[in-house]
Amino acid sequence: MNLQLLKQDDISQVARFHSLYIPHSTFAQLGIPFLKTLYHSLLKSRYGFVYTYWEGKEMQGFIAGATDSQRLLRSLFLGHFLFFLGISLRALFRHPRLLSSLFQTFQYSRKVSLPQTKAELLFIAVNPESRRRGIGSKLILRSLEELKRRGINGVKVSVERNDQKTINLLQKMHFCQEKKFSFYQRERVLLSCQIPE
């Protein structure tokens, strides 16, 4: 089986993938220890899920999602408040410009709010050498199945407006554009998809 739910032993690899292949996300800029805590929380939270894709012993990609991203992020920050405070202060000391990004992070839920769609796909990345072989599509499809299994009938995702390959991927998976918005001084697009019964 190529696709599997995240295991404790694979958290470091997923954090490394996130750091390498989604380097511009604020979460990535907070460093690998932060990402490990993020994925550990996603593994433990009843609101989150992470799937990994394997070929032999090599992880080729992962996807992270939430049945309710607002609740997930709130419980994540409250549950690790002192850790996040410490790690954020250290990152801010090194990169003061992160302050405005961190401030904006707290406005994210409002910007992507859609009536009746609380589920969200948060991050996806595929090893560059394995791209364009359908792995991203399989990860999304499995996430839709996971959400359906949990009784959810719609999901959203936000991407940078100039990230054409991810937008193409989402459109291929029947996501439609809901709105455009600005976040971290960049233009983003919010897309959503209904999950058939």
Query: Which residues are near ligand COA by CB under 6 A?
Result: 21-22, 123-126, 131-137, 159, 163-166, 168-169, 172
> Residue 122 in contact with residue 140, Cβ under 8 Å?
no
Shortest CB 141 distance to ligand COA, Å: 9
Shortest CB 26 distance to ligand COA, Å: 12
Shortest CB 81 distance to ligand COA, Å: 25
Tokens of residue 37, six digits: 């805590």
Q: Closer to ligand COA at the Cβ: 7 or 24?
A: 24
Q: Closer to ligand COA at the Cβ: 11 or 170?
A: 170
Say how far apart CA 137 and CA 38 lie, in whole Å: 24
Q: Closer to ligand COA at the Cβ: 25 or 92?
A: 25
Shortest CB 169 distance to ligand COA, Å: 3
Q: Closer to ligand COA at the Cβ: 92 or 127?
A: 127
